[in-house]
Amino acid sequence: MKNIRKNDKANHTEKGEVENNQNQGANSLTRLNKFIANAGVCSRREADKLIASGMIKVNGVTVSEMGQKVGAGDKVEFDGNILQQERKHYLLLNKPKGFITTTDDPYERKTVMSLIKNACTARLYPVGRLDMATTGLLLFTNDGELAKKLIHPKHSVKKIYHVVLDKKLTKNDMVKISEGIELEDGPIKVDDIAYVSGAENKKEVGVQLHSGRNRIIRRLFEVLGYRVVRLDRVSFAGLTKKDIPRGKWRHLTQKEISYLKMLK
């Protein structure tokens, strides 16, 4: 009886060790959509679409089912390229006038990518857009999930703009903007608007909003008969231009990165 109990105990211990090792192995696996997002390709949701459309291969085999997990030894391919788990990079540019927000341009115009080309070896992408004539804050990252979060309307990420108009903004028109304006693609209501403190006239205003619609600030004033002479984004998701000269950039601090990831 003693031998049997001893063997049973040994078998039980061995079984526990095997199960523990299996659990540790399972814990080291990553869902395929998260792996793709961490490689800087896109968000998890977009990664699911890539998987469903048969555009992802794991160890040479096309995968089309959701939920698959991959380990450190698995080879994941997209569009013929092997994906790597990149270190995440986040940097903030104070964009000058005359640069377009795109990764490349068929017309060979100046792009914002030329301003950050020596920042790191990772492939970074701009989060959202600023048109060629607009200056100010532009965030770059290879963190696809965070980028998607920051531009999605449901997260209401705040942006603050310094707007210079071709003529004084009347109090009546400021009230109209505060209450909401109807544009061709639907109504728009700013979060806040005020004359710039210390400005010599009422041509300069500060506007805070969370909409990411195309040329929204310019169109907002144009519909009321104003022309935007200068437009500068001075704040994005709580980040500011402090200590970043025009045309220069800096990496985000760990505190700033943590703050962005905690945004609801």
Q: For 90-153+241-262, CATH number? A: 3.30.70.580
**Model confidence at 166, in pLDDT bands (50, 70, 90)?**
very high
What pTM was estimated for this model as a whole? 0.73
> What are the structural domain ranges in the chain?
2-82, 90-153+241-262, 158-236
- Helix 144-151 and helix 44-52, axial crossing angle in degrees, nearest 10: 110
What is the per-residue pLDDT across 46-66, written as a single tens digit (0 to 9) for each? 899 999 999 999 999 999 888
SS3 call for 185: coil
* Catalytic-role residue among 74, 131, 173, 191: 131
Beta-carbon contacts of 98 under 8 Å, excluding residues fewer than 6 positions away, are: 110, 132, 133
For 118-165, the pLDDT digits (tens) are 999 888 999 999 999 999 999 999 988 899 899 988 888 999 999 999
pLDDT at 79: 86
The CATH number of domain 158-236 is 3.40.50.1100: no
- How many Cβ atoms from other residues are within 10 Å of residue 15's Cβ? 10
Same fold, 2-82 and 158-236: no
* Cα–Cα nearest to 190, from 201, 204, 175: 175
What average pLDDT does the segment 176-192 reach? 96
What's the CATH fold of domain 2-82?
3.10.290
Q: Confirm whether 74 is a catalytic residue.
A: no
